[in-house]
Structure 1
Amino acid sequence: MSRKDLLLALVIVLAWGVNFVVIKVGLNGVPPMLLGALRFMVAAFPAIFFVKRPQLPWRWMLAYGMTISFAQFAFLFSAMYVGMPAGLASLVLQAQAFFTLGFATLFLHERLQSQNALGLAIAAAGLMVIGMHGNHAMSAVGFMLTLCAAVSWALGNIIVKKVGKVDLVGLVVWASLIPPLPFLALSYALEGPQRIAMALSRIGTSSVLAIVYLAFVATLLGYSLWSRLLSRYPAGQVAPFSLLVPIVGLASASAFLGEQLSVAQATGAALVMAGLAVNVFGGPLLQRLVSGR
């Protein structure tokens, strides 16, 4: 991976890591399904008037929008609304890296390299250490909902790989037209018209800023860059970068929400970083060892 793309990957990590704190702020004033609808409405409009629709059948945009956009965030917002801490949500969601590799092997017939397997094993150990020391704040319902969000994200990653070379900014923008309707339908059914009206009439500055961040930074910027990397590199090389997101997520949750980062969690974060380093740089090192150079 080039230095420029490595830098882009780190920008994604920062944007998505802070994203979980922003979601918590948004959920303080807006219920989860309505928050999802507003996020993608703002992401789609007015951007669709300035970004050309990608030359891609609508079935693929529908598949992308329903997995990586709607399903992922319907599950994630619900998980955090029922009490899943922001830092731990950022951690558990990164199980998508493992699901992505599994789906890529199953559907795309990509081969898992030895350094990928070793790196993910080290990172998985780090995730387990962090998960086992969550101060009992991670409920079973929140955990399962977040895992469902991870599966949805992984399926979206595979769809990006299947569609091949397209205008990725256009894909993210135009696919943002898809989630608002199912989000609004769920909001009407689960949250009710009275609650929707109350949330919209009393929406505060913090909620507005949260929606803007979720739409422009986390969605348009983050997923455009993420899709670009997935289109240029094997899924096994790109997906593990998301394992750095919980490190930023845990740190920002500690700084802004008062969620404590224990010594065990810091140790787990270090293991995650080590696993990522093995995944990214392990191939060239193994080749040098084999060649004796």
Structure 2
Amino acid sequence: MIRFLRNKEIDRQKWDATLACSNQSTLFAQSWYLDVVSPNWCALVRGDYEEIFPLPVKNKLGFKYLVQPNFTQQLGLFSCKKKPLPADEWINFIKKKYRRFDFCLNTQNTIKILEAEPLSNCELPLQDSYETLKSNYATRVKRNLKKSYKADLQQITLEEFIKLKLQNRNGLPSKMYDIIPKLYAAFLKNGVQILLVGLRKDELLAGNLFVIFENRLIGLSGVSSPVGRKHLATFTIIDHLIKKYSSSDMVLDFKGGKMEGTKLFFLGFGAVEKTYFRVSRKF
């Protein structure tokens, strides 16, 4: 039987233990990560945490609803079962409890609901040599790398990264970046390796925040200045990271979504698409 648990009722030790043995394990569903991005998150649980489903709850004027948090790509159903997990039963439970919801499942969840929207996650396994990986770059990527600014990657500070984000937020509200320092602190506390790298040419041209979780190099956020875009700085950053982690068991997780231009950029580096679903009901 599926049970609903409020935030304070969730046994975080059991929760994270299920994720640790899960074939669907992801950074975004770790209890400490959810505590940062969705402080009032609740959960659906079956049995003694054999199956778990995080609920990113928000409250507006007493009206509770579910919404996918910023910097959180996939949630959904998790279990130690080593097979794809059908999520329809859990979605039906959510439909009865919440009038409004908008969240994403993970790539190991299956669903029959017609209104589910397929999205793409772009991943690049890095087992091959750099030469082999580079040979799979699209022609346009190889061409842009020849034209891009050539420099070694540098470690940049969190303050520099956020400043560049705020200067180039393209109309996005500045408050959405308030969570980055909180996530940074949570990564340090929980032993997650952080890669905060950038390119400079007199000024900071571009910066990217990656973290290493299990065997995945996850791109959480990136930004380029107008000068950085002119110099194709992000092409150089991605190429450097592929070279650094080539011939390893790592997977470069670009993330993705539904923005066609972003997806094509990642696929140009040889990434493959993995489908996950967005489920929503709005009024």
Which TM-score tier does this pair reach, normalised by the shorter chain? under 0.3
Normalization by structure 1: what TM-score? 0.24
Normalization by structure 2: what TM-score? 0.25
Which structure is higher in RCO with an 8 Å CA cutoff and minimum separation 6? Answer: 1
Q: Where is the helix percentage greater, Structure 1 or Structure 2?
A: 1
